[in-house]
Structure 1
Amino acid sequence: MGSTATAKALEDFTKQVGGRKFSVLFDQLQAAGLRPLGKSNTGTLLFQYVADSGLVHDVLAFRRDPAVLSFPVSFWQDRKDQRLKLCEAFQPSELLSPVKGVGSQSNNSAGQIAVSKQTLERLQDLCKALCDSLESLRQY
């Protein structure tokens, strides 16, 4: 990856204090075929699924401050039931209010979950369930 914005974002997330929790999730997502995308003008690391057709889906995003996993509106607006099912294992205090960003829909969140030592195992389960379900997007 060299010195790209994505490589820098991955390093920023995983090499700082508490970075292990992010690297566990990132390794899992990348092993399932999702690709990270970091941008130099934001503290967000986006994970994308690329369908066989080449269509790119913004599936998950991560932020460090506060440490959250976010569900981009661009993907999740039509998949609310699936997102709610993925979030069932989390307490209301771990589910954070959606964020309305500026600009494209990928900057908006349909919901967020706090990333912490207490949520890490459940987030791994969520990522596995999500990645298993992405096969249905392959043809799109």
Structure 2
Amino acid sequence: MAFKQLSAVAAGHQAPITPGGSELVRSRFGQPLAVADHAVGTRGVIGILPAGMLPVSLYIRVPAALGAGFKASIGLADAAGDISTAADDGGGAWVTDNDVGAAGGYAHLVPAAFAKLATKDEDRRIILKVSGAGTAAGLFTLDLIYTNA
């Protein structure tokens, strides 16, 4: 099951931000989650890693609690729309079973998988996957910091 895609960038209606040189860029991707989206395994595209870019760090921001038990995993998409386990995509999820959304809050993360990523000549989809059910609707936001490879 996939949640309703509401990100203009992730849906392909707006181009992702790309740096002109060696600077870092921050792109914010938000996804409103309905209570029905809390089923374990629900997933969808939350953002885009532009072609030729490598991620540096990410922030998870959840302004209001999504409910006890809410957990999320994040990573690049495979052809089937799930989190890729390919070596050049980081070998698996960037973030696994993160519970920041349960009570709401903010987390800065530098996933070990970022060191394993290889650049590609095409944009890559970033997947948000519910790995623990919550109880409330709310906004899940991912800020991705990336640079030219």
TM above 0.5, one fold? Answer: no
User: Which one has the bigger strand percentage?
Assistant: 2
Give the TM-score normalised by the residue count of structure 2: 0.33
